[in-house]
Amino acid sequence: MAKAVAQSDVFQAEIDFLKEVRKLSEDDNIPAETVKENYKKLCDKYERLIGEAKLLTSVSDRLHAKLNEANEKLKKQSEEINKINDDLKVNNQLLQDTIDQLVKAKVGRKASSIVLLIAIILFVISEGLLEPIVEQKFGNEQVGFIFKLGIAILLKPIDVIVERYMMRQALKGKSTVADKLFK
Amino acid sequence: MEAYYLEATPKTPKLDFNPAADTFLISGRSIPENSIEFYKPLLDWLDDYVNNPKDSTNFEVKLEYFNTSSSKCLVEIFRKLEKIPQTGKELSVDWYFDEDMQESGEDFKEIIKVPFRMIQIKD
């Protein structure tokens, strides 16, 4: 409402003149000469006002055209940004998958090394410590073979357990590529 | 008579109306929240000036952009300046334009009864 009042102030001179002419038109005792004079003034003001109305319409139309053009440009840019964002998301996912595979391969290699080490330690313990004791106690050489077979059978489950544990640790420690990008 | 000067802001133009100088200037952007409130002091100042203008007055308009209500206020400024030639003194208006302001200048030129020159701004 306040804005509407402020904008109407722009036409205050015209409003004042209209009030003045209205007042005169209600007066029945004005001489014909004065009526003619005021009528001429009114015509002049009206002509001016038409000119100004044309100018304001023209300026306003141009501003709207510019605004529309700017809006179109913004819309287009927004669409381009959305498309770039979508591409980024896809590329980010691809990158994330690749990183995950690399981590998995690295962890797999480490796990295999650890399992190999465990196998060697178990073999040494079996061969050097357990077998002589068991053979001495049971007098059966087949027991040593069963120990080695047990170690061989256990290698795969140990590998899986170690790999899973290491993978969990690796995933705990790293943030995603997206996190890093948008930090 | 004292000069009327206002520095430009992002929304209002620079107003440099110094009777001691040869040229009056309005430049920049004119998109005030309330145009009439912004231009009213200048219009009052011009009322005084046109009663006793210098022998020659040059008014330079170097506006980049203006809103609709500012254009009405510009019309009012020109209406005040129109009175200067009636006192026998000289008045000229220079409207500096780029591609955006050319049509606006031509619109003003059509309705204002003062010598109105259109000057293209070179890059």
Q: ipTM of this model?
A: 0.83
Please indicate whether residue A76 or residue A27 has the higher confidence score (pLDDT).
A76
Partners of B58 in beta bridges: B23, B92
3-state secondary structure of A33: helix
pLDDT band at A167 (very low <50, low <70, confident <90, very high): confident
Asked if A63 and B103 come within 8 Å (Cβ–Cβ), the reply is: no
Q: Is the pLDDT of residue B67 over 70?
A: yes
Which chain B residue shows the shortest CA-CA distance from A61? B68
φ/ψ (deg, to 5) at B40: -55, -50
Please indicate whether residue B99 or residue B64 has the higher confidence score (pLDDT).
B64
Write out pLDDT tens, residues A79-125: 999 999 999 999 999 999 998 899 889 888 888 898 889 888 888 88
Q: What local confidence, expressed as pLDDT, does residue A20 receive?
A: 87
**What residue spans define the domains of chain B?**
4-120
Query: Per residue in A144-154, is it b (16+ CB within 10 Å) or e — as a string?
Result: beebeeebeee
Residues 16-75 of B with CB under 8 A from A: 34-37, 66-69, 71-73, 75
Picking from B34, B37, B68, the nearest residue to A56 by CB comes out as: B68
Q: What local confidence, expressed as pLDDT, does residue A1 receive?
A: 43
pLDDT band at A40 (very low <50, low <70, confident <90, very high): very high
Q: Is the pLDDT of residue B78 over 60?
A: yes
Q: Is the pLDDT of residue B115 over 80?
A: yes
φ/ψ (deg, to 5) at B120: -80, 135
Optimal mutation site among A44, A50, A59, A60, interface B, most CBs of chain B within 10 A: A59
Q: Return the closest-CA partner of residue A14 out of B45, B54, B72.
A: B72
Give the whole-angstrom CA distance, residue A149 versus residue A154: 9
Picking from B36, B75, B103, the nearest residue to A9 by CB comes out as: B36
Asked if B34 and A55 come within 8 Å (Cβ–Cβ), the reply is: no
Picking from A12, A48, A63, the nearest residue to B68 by CB comes out as: A63
Please indicate whether residue A114 or residue A172 has the higher confidence score (pLDDT).
A114
Q: Is the pLDDT of residue A71 over 90?
A: yes
Q: Which region among A107-111, A147-151, B6-10, B11-15 has the lowest average model confidence (pLDDT)? A: A147-151
Q: Is the pLDDT of residue B40 over 60?
A: yes
Q: What local confidence, expressed as pLDDT, does residue B84 receive?
A: 93
Asked if A58 and B103 come within 8 Å (Cβ–Cβ), the reply is: yes
Asked if B107 and A6 come within 8 Å (Cβ–Cβ), the reply is: no
Q: Which region among A5-9, A170-174, B56-60 has the lowest average model confidence (pLDDT)? A: A5-9
Asked if A10 and B72 come within 8 Å (Cβ–Cβ), the reply is: yes
Average pLDDT, chain A: 84
The mean per-residue pLDDT over the stretch A45-49 comes to: 91
Write out pLDDT tens, residues A173-183: 765 554 555 44
Report percent pLDDT > 70 for chain A: 89
Q: Is the pLDDT of residue B119 over 90?
A: yes
φ/ψ (deg, to 5) at B54: -70, 170
Helices A32-125, B68-81: axis angle to 10 degrees equals 140
Q: What local confidence, expressed as pLDDT, does residue B72 receive?
A: 93
Q: Which fold has domain B4-120?
A: Transcription Regulator spoIIAA (3.30.750)
Write out pLDDT tens, residues B99-112: 889 999 999 999 99
